[in-house]
Amino acid sequence: MSSYKIEAGTAQHIGNRAQQNDRAALFTGARAPGYVLAILADGQAGGAIAPEQVLHTARLVFNEFKPGDVASTARMADLLRAIVHESHLVIKMNGVTTGTEPTASFVGLLISPQGQAVWAHAGDSRLYHFVAGQCRARTTDAAYVDHLTVNDKLPLEAAKAHRQSPLLANVLGNIVKEPFVAIGSHDGLAADDAFLLCSDGLWAYFTDTELGSVLNKNAPRQASEMLINKAIERADGKGDNCTMAMIKLVRPPKEVPDYKVEKMRRAV
């Protein structure tokens, strides 16, 4: 297994909106030492109610996760699906109780101490996987469009217009449609791997190359400051909530030999 240490952080800016409806968090598991979970949810309707519920559910579900010696990528994916499923149910129940229809996007990433990464998403928030600044994978709507055409028998053009249709919107809390969860994974993580989870208030203003370059050259805190400032500039007074979570795998510092007289005497 490759040797690396983790640098991580979250950041957000309200943009030009009246309130902040995005939420992001990083968790460690109570029964899963060495595992790291990153979650980001963007409130699509109902303010921050649904994203808050996503984070609350993620914490509870992750704290019950017991991977044993090694968790398969399938079990890691099941954990992310469980977070989506349980969050979706509670958000819908809360909506019935309050007479509202809160909804949220979802993107989650789970990293194991064995160098496995599994991610899941539903909605228009994104996850990027970079290696030395180069984008190796990112979430898209392609799998959901395929799902609508194959399983729901929708014409391709109607499926591509799902974001404009409340009936087709792929979000947690949709009262007429279960969220479709797309899964991705990568095995053999090493130093120079990096992940970015972000809402559309960020990714809409950058190319993959720009995001990868900033994250590769800077620690998470500095990278988030640079990206937020540039997103505000490019939004030109029309920016959405801007939220992100970053995880970078970096080479640990080299240990400097500390020779002492006692040790040298023993060697002689």
Domain range summary for the chain, segments of one domain joined by +: 5-253
C-beta separation of 246 from 195 below 8 A: yes
Q: pLDDT of 180-201, one tens digit each?
A: 999 999 999 999 999 999 999 9
Q: Please, which pLDDT band fits residue 265 given cuts at 50, 70 and 90?
A: very low
C-beta separation of 62 from 47 below 8 A: no
Percent of the chain with pLDDT over 90: 75
Flag the least confident range among 7-11, 107-111, 250-254: 250-254
Residue 1 has pLDDT above 50, yes or no: no
**CA separation (Å) from 133 to 29, 70, 200, 211, 214?**
28, 29, 20, 8, 8
The predicted structure's pLDDT at residue 218: 97
Written as one letter, the residue type at 89 is L
More confidently predicted of 43 and 142: 43
C-beta separation of 196 from 130 below 8 A: yes
Q: Please, which pLDDT band fits residue 256 given cuts at 50, 70 and 90?
A: low
More confidently predicted of 175 and 109: 109
Q: Please, which pLDDT band fits residue 247 given cuts at 50, 70 and 90?
A: very high
- CA–chain centroid gap for 218, Å, is 19
The predicted structure's pLDDT at residue 2: 54
Residues 95-104: what's their mean pLDDT?
88
The predicted structure's pLDDT at residue 123: 92
Q: pLDDT of 213-233, one tens digit each?
A: 999 999 999 999 999 999 999
Percent of the chain with pLDDT over 70: 93
The predicted structure's pLDDT at residue 257: 62
Residue 150, token pair as written in the block: 């194959």
Q: Please, which pLDDT band fits residue 63 given cuts at 50, 70 and 90?
A: very high
What are the beta bridge partners of residue 117? 111, 186
The predicted structure's pLDDT at residue 259: 53
* Domain 5-253 -> CATH class: alpha beta
Residue 161 has pLDDT above 50, yes or no: yes
Written as one letter, the residue type at 231 is A
What are the beta bridge partners of residue 263? none
SS3 225: helix
The predicted structure's pLDDT at residue 172: 97
Residues 94-117: what's their mean pLDDT?
93
| CA dihedral of 166, 144, 224, 56, whole degrees rounded to 10 | 70
DSSP conformational letter for 142? H
The predicted structure's pLDDT at residue 264: 42
**pTM (two decimals):** 0.91
**CA separation (Å) from 65 to 59, 86, 96, 104?**
10, 14, 29, 24
